[in-house]
Amino acid sequence: MLLLLALLWLVPSSAVAMVTTKEVEEALTCQCGCGLTVHSCNHLQCGSGIPLKKEVQALVSQGLGRDEILLRFRDKYGEKILSSPTAEGFNLTAWILPFVVVAAGGALVVRTARRWTASTAEREDGSDRRIQLSEHDRRRLEAELARREP
């Protein structure tokens, strides 16, 4: 046990935190059209997945970090290679907009529910909600009703 602890202490922290190929392959989208990550692509002789896996293996063996490898792939192949959009620029909208829409919808539901319950409470309190007519309008209404009665 002490030997294991001594070895961990002697090994540089960068080697302990070394990135795995699976970790990087899961962050990349296979370009063969399957829609899966490079790690998950199940085409036997995939023309995209196999070379990408080899490239990832080479970069990991050079000791590069996950973010650095992903930046290299993004620069080389474009943002479409990444399995999730970056949280910067216009892509920030893709991260924020769903939460904004859900919050706005929730606020609308709460507002509508309060209006409904308020109008129901007004009807139930028994208050007289007749329209107040001026004397002139009342005489006109009575005259019109008198004309229509047989």
26 and 73, same domain (yes or no): yes
Can you tell me the mean pLDDT for 33-46?
90
- Does the residue 38 lie in any domain? yes
Rounded to two decimals, the pTM is 0.52
75 and 97, same domain (yes or no): no
The number of folded domains in the chain is 2
- Does the residue 25 lie in any domain? yes
- Does the residue 33 lie in any domain? yes
Could you tell me which of 67, 53, 62 has the C-alpha nearest to residue 21? 53
| Whether the predicted pLDDT of 7 surpasses 50 | no
Rounded distance between C-alpha atoms, residue 139 and residue 22, angstroms:
87
Could you tell me which of 76, 72, 82, 85 has the C-alpha nearest to residue 30? 82
31 and 77, same domain (yes or no): yes
| Whether the predicted pLDDT of 1 surpasses 80 | no
73 and 23, same domain (yes or no): yes
CA 139 → CA 87, 132, 147, 150, distances in Å? Answer: 70, 13, 12, 19
E strand or H helix that includes residue 31: none
What pLDDT digit, counting tens, does each position of 40-55 carry? 998 889 999 999 999 9
> Looking at per-residue confidence, does 5 or 95 come out higher?
95
- Does the residue 51 lie in any domain? yes
Q: Residue 81 has what DSSP assignment? A: G
76 and 103, same domain (yes or no): no
26 and 50, same domain (yes or no): yes
Q: Which domain holds residue 69?
A: 16-81
- Does the residue 148 lie in any domain? no
| Whether the predicted pLDDT of 3 surpasses 50 | no
- Does the residue 66 lie in any domain? yes
- Does the residue 149 lie in any domain? no
76 and 100, same domain (yes or no): no
Kindly compute the dihedral angle of the four CA atoms of residues 10, 11, 13, 18, in this order, to the nearest 10 degrees: -170
What pLDDT digit, counting tens, does each position of 109-131 carry? 999 999 888 766 666 655 556 67
What pLDDT digit, counting tens, does each position of 52-109 carry? 999 999 999 999 999 999 999 999 998 889 888 777 788 788 888 999 999 999 999 9
- Does the residue 104 lie in any domain? yes
| Helix intervals (H) in the chain | 2-10, 13-16, 21-26, 49-61, 66-77, 91-124, 135-148
N residues, the chain: 150
